[in-house]
Amino acid sequence: MRRYLPILTGSLLAATAITPASAYMAYVSNERGNTVSGLDTETMAVVTTIEVGQRPRGITISHDGKFVYLCASDDDTVEIIDTSTHQIVGSLPSGPDPELFVLSPDGKTLYVANEDDNLVTVIDIESKRMIVEIPVGVEPEGMGISPDGKTLVNTSETTNMAHFIDTDTHQITHNVLVDSRPRFAEFKPDGSEVWVSAEIGGTVSVIDNETREITHKITFEIPGLRTESIQPVGVRISEDGAKAYVALGPANRVAVVNTETYEVEKYVLVGQRVWQLAFTPDQKYIISTNGISNDVTFIDVATDEPVQSVTVGDQPWGVVVAPN
């Protein structure tokens, strides 16, 4: 996805220079509602609600924008939604209790974390076949992939490690201990670093992708809030690599981190229990899912101001924006 997007955004930026902001469709998985809300990112309104399987969580989209992939955790499957009809048109053999996944940069392979079985499942999308299961630590969740597609990083929530996996051999090459309950792994667009959030530890570890060692540990302080309630989950780094956004769970804020200095520059107040994030392809907005307040918040990336909160379904969990 990373390799693909710069080309795409380049053309989009050229386009937006002469036309108003583009409208995209954002898809939000509602964990409790068993639905996916479709939002128009220009009007910031829900335009469709899709009934899906039990306990939808992780959500992503094919690079051509034609299919949404959705972890229906309690149905032990990954559902495929056709974005032109908003119908479920198939499923992928995810293994039990899929929670989060990541698509390979070439769009051909899906890597799924199976929380209950300490496995990462590798799925070939075209044949809808499981290729291999990779044993990892206890409660795998976060999944990040390097821009060149060669390195997969999985985080295990009870083992407290980031597992570096070679995507050719499907073997773990490095295990990096991070703080408690690592939930998300995000590569910088240039592939130099992996950022891993630790929900209970309250930190984000920056791991050098060359040495596979932690080079920085980002902590968060918000006046008036106990440190225990600052629980980093979703992490997204802007296309230009300059800013990282970190969703802080029950702190109800998204932290904006300077990726040069590793300093938090701003805390953006959003809704309650913010977990996941997604940029619009033009990088104009980043959208947060606020589980307890049943809404998503659009944050303006240029100003880092919250622009609009929109009510979606019950307990929004994940979000992805169509590339076109």
Partner 1 sequence: MKSVVPNTLFSFLFLFMLAVNIPQAGAQGTAPASPNAAGGTTPIEVKIGYLRAYAPELALSVLDIPPRDAGVAGAKLAIDDNNTTGSFLGQEFSLDVVEIEPRADAVQPLTQMVEDGARFVLADVSAEQLLAIADAGREQGIIIFNVASAEDSLREEECRLNVFHTAPTYSMLADGVAQYLIWKQWRNWVLVYGSHEPDQLFAEALRRSAERFGGNIVAEKLFEDQGTARRSDTGVTQIQRLMPVFTQDLPAHDVVLAADESEVFGNYLPYRTWVPRPVAGSAGLMPSSWHPASEQWGGMQIQNRFEAAIGRRMVSVDMNAWTAARSIGEGATRTMSGDAAEIADFLRSDDFQVAAFRGQRLTFRKWNQQLRQPIILGDGHSVISTSPQEGFLHQVSELDTLGIDQPETACQL
Q: Which of 43, 106, 135, 311 binds partner 1 (CB under 8 A)?
A: 135
Q: Binding residues for partner 1, how many (CB under 8 A)?
A: 46
In the complex, the smallest distance separating the C-beta of residue 312 from partner 1, rounded to whole angstroms, is 21
Residues from 107 through 126 that contact partner 1 (CB under 8 A): 115-118
- Residue 196 CB, shortest distance to partner 1, in Å, is 12
Instruction: For residue 239, give Cα distances in angstroms to 13, 186, 244.
Output: 12, 12, 10
- State how far the Cα of 155 lies from the Cα of 142, in Å rounded to an integer: 5
Residues 297/290, Cβ–Cβ less than 8 Å:
yes
Q: What six digits make up the tokens of 15? A: 């386009």
User: Of the two residues 130 and 200, which places its CB atom closer to partner 1 in the complex?
Assistant: 200
Whose Cβ is closer to partner 1: residue 206's or residue 310's?
206
In a 10 Å sphere around its CB, with 0-12 CB exposed, 13-18 middle and 19+ buried, how is residue 63 labelled?
buried
**What is the number of H-type helices and E-type strands within the chain?**
1, 28
User: Is residue 212 a contact residue for partner 1 (CB under 8 A)?
Assistant: yes
161 touches partner 1 by CB under 8 A: yes
Query: Which stretch in 45-53, 208-216, 264-272, 299-307 sits in contact with partner 1 by CB under 8 A?
Result: 208-216
Distance CA 23, CA 20 (A): 9
Q: Tell me which residue has tokens 């240039």.
A: 190
217 counts as binding partner 1 under rule CB under 8 A? yes
Q: Which of residues 163-182 bind partner 1 (CB under 8 A)?
A: 163, 170-177, 179-181
Residue type, 129: R
- Of the two residues 4 and 262, which places its CB atom closer to partner 1 in the complex? 262
- Options 201, 232, 271, 291; binder of partner 1; rule CB under 8 A: 201
Q: Which is nearer to partner 1, 115 or 295 (CB)?
A: 115
Choose one: 77-85, 130-138, 147-155, 298-306; the region binding partner 1 (CB under 8 A). Answer: 130-138
Report the candidate in 271, 269, 278 with the shortest Cα–Cα distance to residue 293: 271
* Site membership for partner 1, residue 160 (CB under 8 A): yes
Q: Which stretch binds partner 1 (CB under 8 A): 38-46, 80-88, 221-229, 309-317?
A: 221-229
Whichever of 249 and 281 has its CB closer to partner 1, that residue is 249
Q: How many CB atoms are located within 10 Å of the residue 214 CB?
A: 18
Burial classification of residue 45, based on how many CB atoms lie within 10 Å of its CB (0-12 exposed, 13-18 middle, 19 or more buried): exposed
Tokens found for residue 248:
């802080």
Q: What is the spatial distance between Cα 253 and Cα 233, in angstroms, rounded to a whole number? A: 11
Scan residues 225-254 and list those touching partner 1 (CB under 8 A): 226, 228-229, 231
Among 7-15, 222-230, 235-243, 296-304, which window interacts with partner 1 (CB under 8 A)?
A: 222-230
Residue of 49, 30, 29, 24 lying closest to 38 (CA atoms): 49
Nearer Cβ to partner 1 (200/222): 200
321 binds partner 1 (CB under 8 A): no
Say whether residue 43 binds partner 1 (CB under 8 A): no
- 151-156/87-92 β-pairing: unpaired
The closest of 293, 204, 273 to 244, measured between CA atoms, is 204
Give 76 or 295: the residue with its C-beta nearer to partner 1: 76
Return residues touching partner 1 (CB under 8 A). 97, 115-118, 132-139, 156-161, 163, 170-177, 179-181, 199-202, 205, 212-214, 216-217, 219, 226, 228-229, 231
